[in-house]
Amino acid sequence: MYNPVFKFFQGVLLQQNRRNFLKWSALFGGLATNPISLSANLLKDTPILTKWAGCNVNCGTKCPVKVHTQDGVIKYVSTDDEGDDSFDKRQARACIRGRSSKYKVYNANRITRPLKRVGKRGEGKFIPISWEQAFDEIASKMKETKEKYGNEAFFITYATGTTGTIVNRCTKGPWARLLSLYGGYLNYHNSYSTAQISNAMNFFYGGSPSSDIATLRSAKLAIFFGTNHVETRMGGGGIGYAYQKALEESGCKIIHIDPRYNDSIIGHCDEWIPIAPGTDAALIAALAYVMIKENLLDRNFLDKYTIGFSENTLPEDAPKNSSYESYVLGLSDGVEKTPDWASKITKIPARRIIQLAREVSTIEPCFIEQGWGVQRHSNGEQGARAIATLACMIGSIGIEGGNTGVRTGSSKTYDIMGMPCPNPIKDSIPCFLFTDAIYRGKEMTDVSDGVRGTTQLKQNIKFIFNTAGNCLTNQHSTIKEVDRILSDESLCECIVDINVTRTPSNNYADYILPDATMLEQEDFIRPSAGYYSNRPYIIYCQKAIEPVGESKPIYEMCLELAKRLGIENEFSEGRTQKDWLKYLYEESMKKNPLLPSFKEMREKGLVKFDPVKPTIALESFVKDPINNPLKTPSGKIEIYSIKLAQMQKTWKLKQGQQIVPIPVFESQREGPLDPLKEKYPLQFFGYHYKGRTHSSFWEISAIREINPQEIWVNTIDAKQRNIKTGDVIRVKNDLGVIQGIAKVTPKIIPGCATTPQGAWVKYENGIDIGTCVNSLASLLPTAISKGNGQHSILVEIEKA
Q: Are 194 and 375 in contact (CB under 8 A)?
A: yes
708: Cα separation from own chain's centroid:
21
Burial (Cβ within 10 Å: 0-12, 13-18, ≥19) of residue 593: exposed
> Does residue 153 sit in helix, strand or coil?
helix
With a CB cutoff of 8 Å and minimum separation 6, the contacts of 40 are none
Give the β-pairing of 221-225 and 253-257: parallel
E-assigned strand segments in 325-449: 366-370, 428-430
Cis peptide upstream of residue 365 (ω within 30 degrees of 0): yes
CATH of domain 115-186+428-516+551-572: 3.40.50.740
In the chain, the amino acid numbered 60 is G
Burial (Cβ within 10 Å: 0-12, 13-18, ≥19) of residue 220: middle
CA–CA distance, 82 with 96 (Å, rounded to integer): 18
347: nearest Cα among 280, 253, 291, 264:
280
Compute the C-alpha angle 279/285/291, nearest 5°. Answer: 140
Burial (Cβ within 10 Å: 0-12, 13-18, ≥19) of residue 311: middle
CA–CA distance, 100 with 79 (Å, rounded to integer): 11
CA–CA distance, 253 with 60 (Å, rounded to integer): 26
- Integer angstrom CA distances of residue 405 from 4, 226, 260, 368, 736: 53, 12, 20, 5, 35
CATH fold for domain 675-799: Barwin-like endoglucanases (2.40.40)
Q: Are 126 and 512 in contact (CB under 8 A)?
A: yes
Left, alpha or beta for 758 (phi > 0: left; psi -120 to 50: alpha)? left
> Does residue 729 sit in helix, strand or coil?
strand
pLDDT along the chain (800 residues), means of 10: 36 34 33 36 76 91 95 96 85 91 95 97 96 98 98 97 91 95 98 97 98 95 95 84 87 96 92 98 98 98 98 97 98 97 98 98 97 97 98 98 94 88 97 98 98 98 97 97 97 98 97 97 88 91 98 98 98 98 96 93 94 95 98 98 98 96 97 97 96 93 93 98 98 98 98 97 97 98 98 98
What is residue 239's DSSP assignment? Answer: H
With a CB cutoff of 8 Å and minimum separation 6, the contacts of 349 are 343
DSSP 591-638: H-TTSPPHHHHHHHSEEE----PPP-TTHHHHH-TTTS--SSTTSSEE
What is residue 432's DSSP assignment? Answer: G
Q: Are 265 and 249 in contact (CB under 8 A)?
A: no
What is residue 85's DSSP assignment? Answer: S
Q: Which residues pair with 731 in a beta bridge?
A: 738, 797
CATH fold for domain 196-411+617-639: Dimethylsulfoxide Reductase; domain 2 (3.40.228)
CA–CA distance, 346 with 251 (Å, rounded to integer): 29
236: nearest Cα among 368, 408, 86, 372:
86
Q: Per-domain residue ranges for the chain? A: 4-105, 115-186+428-516+551-572, 196-411+617-639, 675-799
Angle subtended by helix axes 577-591 and 554-565, to nearest 10: 110
DSSP 94-139: --HHHHTHHHHHS-TTB--S-EEE-S-TTS--EEE--HHHHHHHHH
CA–CA distance, 594 with 580 (Å, rounded to integer): 21
CA–CA distance, 283 with 343 (Å, rounded to integer): 8
pLDDT value at residue 39: 42
Q: Are 144 and 387 in contact (CB under 8 A)?
A: no
With a CB cutoff of 8 Å and minimum separation 6, the contacts of 646 are none
Edge to edge, what strands does the sheet with 73-79 contain?
A: 48-54, 64-70, 73-79
CA–CA distance, 316 with 177 (Å, rounded to integer): 47
Q: Which residues pair with 128 in a beta bridge?
A: 115
Longest dimension (CA), the chain: 87
Q: Are 59 and 43 in contact (CB under 8 A)?
A: no
CA–CA distance, 538 with 527 (Å, rounded to integer): 5
pLDDT value at residue 44: 60
Burial (Cβ within 10 Å: 0-12, 13-18, ≥19) of residue 484: middle
3-state DSSP percent of the chain in helix, strand and coil, to 5 = 35, 20, 45
Spell out the SS3 assignment of 510-548: CEEEEECCHHHCEEEECHHHCCCCCCCEEEEEECCCCCC
End-to-end CA distance of the chain: 52
Give the β-pairing of 728-733 and 793-799: antiparallel
124 phi and psi angles, rounded to 5 deg: 80, 25
